[in-house]
Amino acid sequence: MERSLADTYISLGELMRLARGSFKRAIDAQYAARGIDDVPAPGGYVLAYLAGGEESIPEMIEGLGIRKSQYNQFMDSLVLRGFITREIGSRDGSVSFALTERGRAAAEAIFEGSRIVNAELERRVSPDDIAGTRRVLLALAEIKQSLPKP
């Protein structure tokens, strides 16, 4: 008898890692359809944050779970690959970033890949199941925020 994913991956952490892969695979397919093959990890998250315009730089760093030096390396990489531009304020030295046309295409790939997975998820499970899963994931996010930072 063949084992199912549910039999193989028992812990919630393992299942979350495996499930996240569905979004990555769908997004990678959308990148490929647009001829984009060089978005550095976790550059996709940064591009989505910038496209949404809702996150500040400290919030992006916190959301990505990385150090500021790592964030700066990712941003440098995204600038060099033509996904974003960087502007430094002449008066206060503040840094701002904006998506280029290539960056907008990559962000569209991210949103379309996510849309495809979410639509398939809605086809496979009930709205109550999705709502319950959201509650569990939000609780896990809250637990993370309540734990001391290393």
Q: Which residue, chain included where needed, has tokens 């150090």?
A: 67
Peptide bond before residue 42 is cis, with ω within 30 degrees of 0 = yes
Quick one: pLDDT at residue 16? 85
Q: What is the pLDDT of residues 49-86, one digit of tens each?
A: 889 876 677 777 877 778 888 888 889 999 999 999 99
Q: What is the pLDDT of residues 76-135, one digit of tens each?
A: 999 999 999 998 888 888 888 899 999 999 999 999 999 999 999 999 999 999 999 999
Quick one: pLDDT at residue 54? 67
Average pLDDT over residues 22-47: 92
Between the alpha carbon of residue 89 and those of residues 84, 97, 145, the distances in Å are 16, 11, 32
- Fold annotation for 22-146: Arc Repressor Mutant, subunit A (1.10.10)
Beta strands in the chain (DSSP E): 84-88, 95-99
* CA gap 135, 98 in Å, rounded: 33
* CA gap 98, 83 in Å, rounded: 9
Q: Which two tokens stand for residue 130?
A: 């999705």
Report domain extents, the chain: 22-146
CA-based nearest residue to 45, from 19, 66, 18: 66
* CA gap 42, 64 in Å, rounded: 8
